[in-house]
Structure 1
Amino acid sequence: MLGRMTSRADADSGRPDGSAGKDAAEGRPAAPPRPSRPADPKPRSRRAPAGAAVLRPEVTEAIRAAVFEELAAVGYARMSIEGIARRAGVGKTAVYRRWRSKLHLVLDLVSALAVQGLPAPDTGSLEADLRLLYEVTSRALRHPVAGQILPDLQAEAARNPEIAEALQKALREGQQSVTRGIVAAARTRGEIRASADESLALDLISGPLYWRAVVAREPKLPKHYLPSLARATAGALKAL
């Protein structure tokens, strides 16, 4: 009996044990197997998900400009994403799509300044190079926005190590690229020694103006101050 039950079950299930399937038992020919669908030789590329955010460059630039204006108007401590978005004419979501917080936003902007250094002047004279550099830097530091932002960020840097590191990198690296160009040109002309210390040269070149603008906060310079500063600095560099 067990053998019969096994044979019957095999026949109903159509298993390939030599017995006929159900269609053959009922007198109908078995249905031919379906042909398999050929594989697509070229895999389809996946489409970008619908609704993916596209960051428009003009919106990003509007937000960056608004940050500088907001920093100058209210300072870092009182600055908010809401105020930045309002000033830029965008929603808060547009800001958060680009930066996680106002800290990351300011760090990004300050860090970007490090790669926006001025081209090194090459007038053919060390003193003239320094005078041109001082004139351009002085105009930038006298700008009302810069006059408000730099002291505020310096104060915030004393409380926030991340801002301190980013600010130091921006100010120092931006000036280093200019200073190296001035020093290299002066060496080529034989105006300063090849062994002159570039780090000390950076302090001599950059220190006076930043002291007046950021520390002493004296935006108005005495008459003939820049030519005198260029002459004195050139003499100091030649003595290195």
Structure 2
Amino acid sequence: MPSSSAPPPPTSPSTPPPTPAPDRPSGRRLPGGPVLQDSVTAAIAAAFFEELAATGYARLSLEAVAKRAGAGKAAIYRRWASKLEMTVDLVTAVAVDASGPADTGTLRGDVLAFLTEVDAALRQPLPARIIPDLIAEGHRTPELAEALFTAVRDTRRGKAVELLERAVDRGELPADVDRGLALDLLAGPLYWRLAVVHTPTAPDHLDRLTDKLIAAFRA
């Protein structure tokens, strides 16, 4: 986010994995173990994000998640061995499954589309509460930070760099553009405004920010 040491926001943890339709296979079997029902997994995932937003990572308990999901605690332990494993797995799934930056055919269109996606994610209630908490918790829990940075930040930044490479291929950015700095600038200002200082934005904010970012990329 604001720096290369913070993971970018998941696109939308308020939207849990969909519950499978009843006419499709709805479970998977652990090696030598029971079938894990996808509908239960989806309910647990939704409950996890709601509980994480309500209490924060430090106070989150697997018992509370199970109660909110209407499932037994054993159902959680059949899927994840710990709170840390559960958090990394579910947050990663949401962030990594998100589509890459849209290819609009122009650098300006791509940047604006990217910012619009980030803006929409940060304005949703669950991401707005979850993301700052996980970043703060990462400073207290190195294992969480390392896992999320590797699984979420690196993957999301890998997708975002495609936006820059397309612009280079089109001749809109020089081949030697500072990709690391550009990626920091791409999400940092918007994240700071919406998630840190909670400052309202004017209707044309994303358009003006897009133009400023492109000018910075080319500087």
Q: TM-score, normalised by structure 2?
A: 0.79
Alignment check: 8 A CA contact 2:100 2:159 kept: yes
Q: Deviations for 1:198-219, whole angstroms, at most 9, x for unmatched residues?
A: 211211212112222333244x
Of 165, 174, 177, the residue aligned with 1:193 is: 174
Structure-2 residue corresponding to 1:69: 50
Of 177, 198, 205, the residue aligned with 2:158 is: 177
Structure-1 residue corresponding to 2:212: 232
Structure-1 residue corresponding to 2:126: 145
Matches within 5 A, 1:1-240: 52-218=33-199, 220-239=200-219
Change (3 A) 1:208 1:236: same
Alignment check: 8 A CA contact 1:131 1:226 kept: yes
How many residues in Structure 1 have an aligned counterpart in Structure 2?
Answer: 189
Q: What CA distance in whole angstroms lies between the structure 2 residues aligned with 1:125 and 1:201? A: 16
Alignment check: 8 A CA contact 2:44 2:66 kept: yes
Percent of paired sites with the same residue:
46
Structure 1 portions without partners, runs of 5+: 1-50
Structure-1 residue corresponding to 2:19: none
Amino acid in the other structure paired with 2:196? V
Structure 2 portions without partners, runs of 5+: 1-31
Q: Deviations for 1:169-206, whole angstroms, at most 9, x for unmatched residues?
A: 35422431332221111112111011112211211212
| Bigger RCO of structures 1 and 2 (CA < 8 A, at least 6 apart) | 2
Alignment check: 8 A CA contact 2:96 2:152 kept: no
Amino acid in the other structure paired with 1:105? M
Structure-1 residue corresponding to 2:13: none
CA RMSD of aligned residues (A): 2.0
Change (3 A) 1:212 1:165: farther
Alignment check: 8 A CA contact 1:193 1:238 kept: yes
Q: Bigger radius of gyration, 1 or 2?
A: 1
